[in-house]
Amino acid sequence: MGRKVTKAIFPVAGLGTRFLPTTKSIPKEMLSLVDKPLIQYAIDEARAAGIKEFIFVTSRGKGALEDYFDHAHELESSLKKSGKTELLEILRATNMESGAIAYIRQHKALGLGHAVWCARRLLSDDEPFAVVLTDDVIQGEPPCLQQMIEAYDETGGSMVATMEVAADKASSYGVLDIAEDMGAIVRAKGMVEKPAKGTQPSNLAVIGRYILAPTVMTNLNKLKQGAGGEIQLTDAIAEEIEAGRDVFGLRFRGQRFDCGSKAGFLQATVAFGLEREELKDEFVEYLHQVTAMRRAAE
């Protein structure tokens, strides 16, 4: 039984080059699926999982992201005056309690592991923590991080979210080497970052949700001292396994979209658009028309 997880780290210091030129001035995390920025999807998921403190690892040019969580008093009172209660509710749902959010800077994009390590002073030595990558947007019920917390409550150790991928896609992910397959949960005996084609130990890829034992931070500390270039979170998790500590993978129930890529972002836009009652009919009709036109042109 693990200790309660109440803090989550959101590494948002990457350059977001795949979305240039937009990301010249807008952080990738502020890109919107229908009408809600990626960061809000991540926060909502973390809140549903019982997270109380939200640590953002940011970098230069992420000002819009910090401003987003300020309460919009003028806007709220104007919506209130004009009786737009539904919009007011939407706005209020984004309000965060004072002191619940911390921003830490990563001064150089030295990798995901390094970004997580930047938050070390905001965690106590014996505290497990969650890491949420906002690029991965997940439709799931209950939300993915909650599924993970429920599984972690039984297993303890560290837990990563996993999904099956085709063999030719495995080289884009961290991949688990499986010691024991218990169905939804697997116990890992290794973890490899972006294995060369054909060398992947399984087809279970790790995606952007983690619950990590405090010792992972200790491992990152060590890697920081030894490393010249990028510091990989995968290496710090793999070290847990080498030290004989438990690392599990959860086959979560839900659909994950890689919103760090253009194709994934477009797919998510379609999926979330179709979920909206007020948009669904018009959108379905449009998609049918587009598909029919493309077929006719072929």
Name the minimum Å distance from CB 231 to ligand UTP.
8
Which whole-number Å values give the CA distances from 14 to 3, 24, 80, 84, 191, in the listed order?
30, 12, 37, 37, 23
Sole binder of ligand UTP in the list 5, 7, 8, 11 (CB under 6 A): 11
The one-letter amino acid code at 280 reads K
What phi, psi does 129 have (nearest 5°)?
-145, 160
Tell me whether residue 26 or residue 115 sits nearer to ligand UTP (CB atom).
115
The one-letter amino acid code at 193 reads E
Q: With DSSP H G I counted as helix, E B as strand and the rest as coil, what are the percentages for the chain, rounded to 5?
A: 45, 25, 35
Q: Does 113 bind ligand UTP (CB under 6 A)?
A: no
Residue where the block lists tokens 């990457």: 14
Tell me whether residue 46 or residue 79 sits nearer to ligand UTP (CB atom).
46
- For the segment 134-163, give every residue that binds ligand UTP (CB under 6 A): 134-135
- Pattern 65-94, binding to ligand UTP, x per CB under 6 A? ------------------------------
Sole binder of ligand UTP in the list 7, 8, 14, 152 (CB under 6 A): 14
Name the minimum Å distance from CB 205 to ligand UTP.
14
Pick the closest to residue 185 from 126, 248, 138 (CA basis). 248
Name the minimum Å distance from CB 132 to ligand UTP.
9
DSSP E strand stretches across 50-197: 53-58, 101-105, 129-132, 136-139, 158-164, 174-181, 185-193
Name the minimum Å distance from CB 28 to ligand UTP.
6
Sole binder of ligand UTP in the list 37, 111, 143, 174 (CB under 6 A): 111
Pick the closest to residue 248 from 210, 216, 217, 219 (CA basis). 210
Tell me whether residue 118 or residue 186 sits nearer to ligand UTP (CB atom).
118
Kindly list the residues in this chain that would bind ligand UTP in the complex (CB under 6 A).
Answer: 11-18, 57, 106, 109-112, 114-115, 133-135, 260
